[in-house]
Structure 1
Amino acid sequence: MGNENLALVVGSYDNTAAASDDYQALRSGQDAGGYEIVGAVVLERDEDGKVQVKEHGDKSVGHGAAWGAGAGVVVGLFAPPLLAATAVGAGIGAILGKIKKNREEKQFGVDLEEYLAPGTSAVVAVVDDKWADRVEKALTRSDKRISKAIDSDDYERLQKAIEESADDVIEQLNS
C-alpha cells in the first residue's frame, strides 16, 4: 500500500473494554477485506495522565515485522508528546518537533485532551484515506470519533527514525 494519502482515525471511549471491542471489530473488518489499516493501537490513559499502549490478540492490525515500531508511528502521529516521552534518539525528537509544528500551522492532527482525557481510552488507526470513512464508522462504541489527514512525509520520516531505533522504542512502549 502506498503512503501518499493517509488519514488518522481516532475513536474516544469512557472505558477500555469498549475500545478493545472496537479494536477487535477493526481486525475483523480488515480480515474480511472491507479495508486496509496501516497500523492501529488502543491507548489507555489513567486518572494520573499516564498513557499505556494496549495491543490485543495474537496478531496486530496492520502489517510489518516490527509491530512495536508501527505502534510508535501511530502514537507519534496521534500525539507527538506521548512518543517523545518514551522515545530515545535525536532523529525521532526532530521529526516529532516537525510534526507538532505542522499540526499547529496546518491545524491537522487530534487534540490529546479531547480524545484521550485522563480516565479514558482511544482507538487510533492510520489508514489510506480511501478507507477512513469505513474505519471511522467501524468504531461504533466510541463516544466521539474523528479522521484527519496525515502528511505522508511526516509518516515516512517518523517511520524511518523509529525503525533506526526500533528496539529502544519497542522496549519503552511495552514497559
Structure 2
Amino acid sequence: MGMDNLVLYVATYDDDAVATDQYRSLKDAEASSDLEVVSSVVMRRGDDGRVAVDEHGTGQVAAGTWIGGAAGLVVGLFAPPLLAATAIGAGVGAISGAIAKKHDEKKVGLELEEYLPRGSSAIVAVLDDKYLDRIDAVLTKYAKKVDKAIDRDDYEALEKAISEGGDKIAKAIAS
C-alpha cells in the first residue's frame, strides 16, 4: 500500500453495540474485498471521560497500559494526549508532543470532545484515500464522520517512536 495519501478516518457512534458491529463489518470487508486499512481501532469513552481502546478486535487496552504499534499509531494520530497517557507514551512523549503541537498550529487535529464525546464510541482508522469510497460504503450507521489527510512525516516518525518505545517496554516487562 502506498503511504503518500494517508487519511485518518473517524466514525463516531452513540451506541457502542453499533460501533462494534460496524467494526466487524469493516474487518469482514477487508478480508473479502478490495479495501486495505493500515490500522483501525474502536475507541470507547465512558461517561467518566476515560478512554479504552479495542485493538484489532482483540480486547480493550486501558489507559496506563501498553498499546501495540498499529493501535498506538491510530491513537497518536487521532489524539496525541491519549497516547501519552499510556505506558508507551514514555517512549514516544517527544514525538506525540510534537504532533500535538503541529495539530494545534495547523488545526489538523481532531477535537476529542467533538469526535469522541463522553458516552460514545468511535472507529478510528488509517487508510489510503483511494479507499474512502469503500470504507464509506461499509461504515454507514455513524452519528458523525470525518476524514483528514495525515502528514506522512508525522506518521513515519510516530511509527518509529512507537516501535522503539514498544521494544523498550517489552524488554522492561521481560526483565
Q: TM bucket by the smaller chain?
A: 0.7 to 0.9
- 1:117-167 deviation line (CA, Å, top 9, x unaligned): 111100000001111232134221110111000001111110110111225
Aligned position for 1:34: 34
2-structure distance, mates of 1:102, 1:135: 27
Aligned position for 2:19: 19
Aligned position for 2:52: 52
Aligned position for 1:4: 4
- Give 5+ residue unaligned stretches, structure 1: 59-66, 171-175
1:90, CA displacement in angstroms? 5.5
Aligned position for 1:77: 77
Relative to the length of structure 2, the TM-score reads 0.84
1:78, CA displacement in angstroms? 0.5
2-structure distance, mates of 1:89, 1:43: 17
Aligned residues: 162
The alpha-carbon distance between structure 1 residues 87 and 30, as it changes in their structure 2 partners (threshold 3 A), is: same
Aligned position for 1:145: 145
Relative to the length of structure 1, the TM-score reads 0.84
2-structure distance, mates of 1:90, 1:56: 23
Percent same amino acid at aligned positions?
Answer: 54
The alpha-carbon distance between structure 1 residues 161 and 56, as it changes in their structure 2 partners (threshold 3 A), is: closer
Larger radius of gyration: 2
Q: Alignment partner of 2:74: what SS?
A: helix
Aligned position for 2:111: 111
1:82, CA displacement in angstroms? 0.5
The alpha-carbon distance between structure 1 residues 120 and 89, as it changes in their structure 2 partners (threshold 3 A), is: closer
Q: Alignment partner of 2:68: what SS?
A: helix
Aligned position for 1:86: 86
1-structure distance, mates of 2:165, 2:98: 18
The alpha-carbon distance between structure 1 residues 95 and 133, as it changes in their structure 2 partners (threshold 3 A), is: farther
1-structure distance, mates of 2:55, 2:123: 10
The alpha-carbon distance between structure 1 residues 168 and 46, as it changes in their structure 2 partners (threshold 3 A), is: farther
User: Do the aligned partners of 2:41 and 2:57 also contact (CA within 8 Å) in 1?
Assistant: no
The ranges of structure 1 where at least 4 consecutive aligned residues each deviate by more than 3 angstroms after the TM superposition are 55-58, 87-91, 167-170
1:91, CA displacement in angstroms? 5.1
RMSD: 2.0
The alpha-carbon distance between structure 1 residues 89 and 123, as it changes in their structure 2 partners (threshold 3 A), is: closer
- Give 5+ residue unaligned stretches, structure 2: 59-66, 171-175
